[in-house]
Amino acid sequence: MTPAADAARAFQDVHGRAPAGVWSAPGRVNLIGEHTDYNDGFVLPFALPHRLAAAASPREDGKLRVATLGDDGQLQHSGPHDIAALEPGSVEGWAAYPAGVAWVLRDQGYAGGADLVIAGDVPSGAGLSSSHALECAVSLALLGVAGVELEDGGAGTPARPEIARWVQRSENDFVGAPTGLLDQTASLCCEDSRVLFLDVRSGEMEQVPFPLGEAGLRVLIMDTRTKHSHTDGGYGARRRGTERAAELLGVKALRDVTLDGLDEALAQLPEDLVPLVRHVVTENQRVLDVVALLREKKLAEIGPYLDASHVSMRDDYRISTPELDLVVDSARSAGALGARMTGGGFGGSAIALVRDDDLDGVRTAVETACEQAGFRRPRMFTAVPSRGAGRDEA
């Protein structure tokens, strides 16, 4: 069963009729370019095959009712919420994500009510953007039941990057997580077999081919099954630190500091901001270097950049954890070409670039290392770059 079929069936169970449509959106991994998005920098995500689907029908009373199908097969319900009365803080917990999307769309003039039923297979709390997949699927579903289909592309149809900014606003201002633009843009704009090179400042995008199969490579996702949450303080503290550094340096964002000017910039900063700035500036350069290699189809050569990115996040940005360090190090020792934590940090997942022939050995080495350290058994799977959000055949 696909997530779309699961959502449609659950909708039928809850409402006794078929939904008007089903829309779905993927989770993501970021190949490289971490904590650069809110510094106007560069990112390079791809969409996972895992998706969250929203089955939806319009309601005439301007209300939003949502149900979500959990891993245990149980439905959790929220609402009906009066969309006209939504405001930050008025809905909490998981339902704040769909309600925040309805809130922001209302302000954009799409105020219609809807019944939604959500189902899918993006692991939650794994740093793979399940919350953004949820928000993006809900935004397309709410637009869809209001008669706006992205694929039609008619006059007045919002563009995907614009919807990404709305989703970011709902997340920042309604849910209260001060995140950047990486995840929503990945979920909405990624394409099959490609990584998305996004310049967050200009909004320019390039779909860079990432033919893993042809190159005899795999990306192994290693979910440490340890906590990560961006409404907690660590993420916001890093973000504020980089913003303060930009202010002290007299630039709009750390994007404006180049690798050549890094030493001079660091010399002007208080000690606590030095490692944060060093991470962001070197990470931006690593994204550019990796994109240059991928354009030349040198996929196997990006490994050292993944490694350097991890070290930078571990030692300078200080957002890694013992579990993430262990899966990265053990994957490397067992022959991975490169490995790094992915996403916001403080737990969640890491990725490793692995040759086909080494895959089993790497998996076993990572499992054994975690077992010996007394850590939870990681959830591991390989993933190929997949399509972005859209309407599904139910």
Instruction: Supply the residues annotated as catalytic.
Output: 183
Structure tokens at 336: 């991975």
- If the CB atoms of residues 24 and 30 are measured against ligand GLA, the closer one turns out to be 30
One-letter identity of residue 126: A
Minimum gap (Å) between residue 7 Cβ and ligand GLA: 24
- If the CB atoms of residues 56 and 200 are measured against ligand GLA, the closer one turns out to be 200
Minimum gap (Å) between residue 114 Cβ and ligand GLA: 25
Minimum gap (Å) between residue 45 Cβ and ligand GLA: 9
Q: Does 320 bind ligand GLA (CB under 6 A)?
A: no
Beta-strand relationship, 113-120 and 63-69: parallel
Q: Does 3 bind ligand GLA (CB under 6 A)?
A: no
Beta-strand relationship, 194-199 and 42-43: antiparallel
Minimum gap (Å) between residue 387 Cβ and ligand GLA: 20
Minimum gap (Å) between residue 34 Cβ and ligand GLA: 4
Minimum gap (Å) between residue 89 Cβ and ligand GLA: 21
Q: Out of 6, 37, 121, 392, which residue is the one contacting ligand GLA (CB under 6 A)?
A: 37
Write the binding mask 372 to 391 for ligand GLA: x where contact by CB under 6 A, - elsewhere: --------------------
Q: Does 303 bind ligand GLA (CB under 6 A)?
A: no
- If the CB atoms of residues 63 and 230 are measured against ligand GLA, the closer one turns out to be 230
Q: How far apart are CA 134 and CA 122, in angstroms?
A: 9
What is the dihedral sign for C-alpha 38, 337, 129, 312? Answer: negative
Q: Does 45 bind ligand GLA (CB under 6 A)?
A: no
User: Would you put residue 263 in left (φ > 0), alpha (ψ -120 to 50) or beta?
Assistant: alpha
Q: Does 179 bind ligand GLA (CB under 6 A)?
A: yes
Q: Does 321 bind ligand GLA (CB under 6 A)?
A: no
- If the CB atoms of residues 121 and 283 are measured against ligand GLA, the closer one turns out to be 283
Minimum gap (Å) between residue 230 Cβ and ligand GLA: 6
Q: Out of 3, 112, 180, 390, which residue is the one contacting ligand GLA (CB under 6 A)?
A: 180
Local structure of 164: helix, strand or coil: helix
Q: How far apart are CA 142 and CA 137, in angstroms?
A: 9
Q: How far apart are CA 88 and CA 91, in angstroms?
A: 7
Structure tokens at 376: 């939870």
Q: Binding residues for ligand GLA, how many (CB under 6 A)?
A: 12
Local structure of 92: helix, strand or coil: coil
Q: Does 32 bind ligand GLA (CB under 6 A)?
A: no
Q: How far apart are CA 328 and CA 45, in angstroms?
A: 19
Residues 322-351 that bind ligand GLA (CB under 6 A): 343-344
Task: Using CA atoms of 335, 313, 37, 183 in order, give the dihedral in degrees to the nearest 10.
Answer: 60
Q: Out of 135, 183, 323, 392, which residue is the one contacting ligand GLA (CB under 6 A)?
A: 183
What is the dihedral sign for C-alpha 25, 30, 35, 37? Answer: negative
Q: Does 121 bind ligand GLA (CB under 6 A)?
A: no
Q: Does 34 bind ligand GLA (CB under 6 A)?
A: yes
Write the binding mask 49 to 68 for ligand GLA: x where contact by CB under 6 A, - elsewhere: --------------------
* Bridge partner residues of 229 (DSSP): none
Q: How far apart are CA 83 and CA 102, in angstroms?
A: 7
Phi, psi of 215, deg, nearest 5: -85, 0
Structure tokens at 255: 């994007």
Q: Does 362 bind ligand GLA (CB under 6 A)?
A: no
Write the binding mask 193 to 232 for ligand GLA: x where contact by CB under 6 A, - elsewhere: -------------------------------------x--
- If the CB atoms of residues 177 and 352 are measured against ligand GLA, the closer one turns out to be 177
Which residue shows structure tokens 């709009």?
252
Backbone Cα Rg of the chain: 21
Structure tokens at 30: 């970021």
Q: Does 314 bind ligand GLA (CB under 6 A)?
A: no
Contact 2, 49 (CB under 8 A): no
Contact 23, 150 (CB under 8 A): no
- If the CB atoms of residues 30 and 57 are measured against ligand GLA, the closer one turns out to be 30
Under the rule (CB under 6 A), what is the footprint of ligand GLA?
Answer: 30, 34-35, 37-38, 179-180, 182-183, 230, 343-344
